[in-house]
Amino acid sequence: MTNQYPAAAAGRFTFPGTSISVNRMGYGAMQLAGPHVFGPPKDADEARAVLKEAIELGIDHIDTSDFYGPHVTNELIHEALHPYPDTLTLVTKIGAWRDDKGEWILERSPDFLRKSVEDNLKRLGLDRMAIVNLRMSGPEDDMIEPMKAMRQMQEEGLLAHIGVSTVTREQLAVARDIAPVVCVQNHYNLVQRDDDRMIDELAADGIAYVPYFPLGGFTPLQTEELDRIARDLGETPQTVALGWLLHRSPNILLIPGTSRRAHLRQNVAAAALKLDADHLSRLNAIAGLASVS
C-alpha cells in the first residue's frame, strides 16, 4: 500500500465549537451486527478485523449505536479497539431500542435517553461520549423535550457534543435554539437528495452533514448512468457514488459500513477519487433519472 492512510485523502473536517477533527472518510458499524442489524455477526473475527483495519487505513471517526444488535457493534468495537487511539472519535445514536424479535422501538423520554447514553458508555468503556446523535422519526416529532434532555446530559458531562438524526429543517432550527448542534445525520445519497438545501445551509454554518444509506442502504443504488460513469473511470459504481458525496460539499462526512475488509478498502478508495466537471454534471443529473430497486 503506497499510502498508509488512504482515508485521509479526502481531507479533514473540524466539528464546530469543538477540538474534534476527523478525516472525512469514516466508518459506520451498523453492518457488523447480524442480518437486519440484529444478533451477532456471522464471523465475529472478521468483524473485529474490519475495525482494526479501518484504523490502519486512517479512519478516525466510527459511527455506532447500542441498538445495533442490540449491543453487538459496541461490544465488538470495545473488544477490537480498546484502549482507543487518542485520535479516534466514536459517535453514537440514541432514541430507539430493539425488542426480542428485532423490531425497532422508538423512544425519546428523558429517562430513556439518559439510560441509553449510560449503556453506550458502559459497553464502549468510556467516561463521556464525544458526540451523541438524537434520532427522530418524522416531521411530526417534538424536538423540545428530547433536546432539553440532551442539553442536560451535556451539562452534566455525559456527552460532549450533540448531533441530530432524521430531522427536517424546521426541527433542526428548534434543536439549535435549545443547544448547539455539531452534526446532522439524515438519509441522503446520489438519488435521494431531499436535503440539498439543508446541506448548503449547514455548510455555511460549518456544521457536519453525515448521510446515512450513502449507497442506498437496503435498496442499493442502481442506475445505468452511474454504471457508465464508473466504467469510464475504471471504478466500481459504489466508489463513484461515495466520491460524488465527498465532492458534493466540504461538510459532508461519510460513514459507509461493511462487514468485510475487502469491501472496506473499496469504500476507502473513494476518498482519493477525482471527478472532473463533466463527471460531476452527469452525476448531478442522476437524481432526476435514476430508478432505485
- DSSP assignment string, 150-200: HHHHHHHTSEEEEEEES--HHHHHHHHHHS---EEEEE--SS--TTHHHHH
> What local confidence, expressed as pLDDT, does residue 115 receive?
98
- Total of domains in the chain: 1
Is residue 245 situated within a structural domain? no
As given in the structure block, the three cell numbers for residue 189 are 445519497
Is residue 83 situated within a structural domain? yes
Is residue 285 situated within a structural domain? no
Is residue 115 situated within a structural domain? yes
> What local confidence, expressed as pLDDT, does residue 16 receive?
97
Is residue 267 situated within a structural domain? no
Is residue 291 situated within a structural domain? no
Catalytic residues: 68
pTM of the shown model: 0.95
> What local confidence, expressed as pLDDT, does residue 230 receive?
96
Q: For residue range 225-270, list pLDDT tens digits in order.
A: 999 999 999 999 999 999 999 999 999 999 999 999 999 999 999 9
Q: Identify whether the C-beta of residue 202 lies closer than 8 Å to the C-beta of residue 250.
A: no
> What local confidence, expressed as pLDDT, does residue 289 receive?
60
Is residue 120 situated within a structural domain? yes
User: Domain holding 90: CATH number?
Assistant: 3.20.20.100
Query: What is the domain range of residue 117?
Result: 21-220+250-257
Cβ-based neighbour number of residue 103 at 10 Å: 10
Is residue 236 situated within a structural domain? no
Q: For residue range 21-45, list pLDDT tens digits in order.
A: 999 999 999 999 999 999 999 999 9
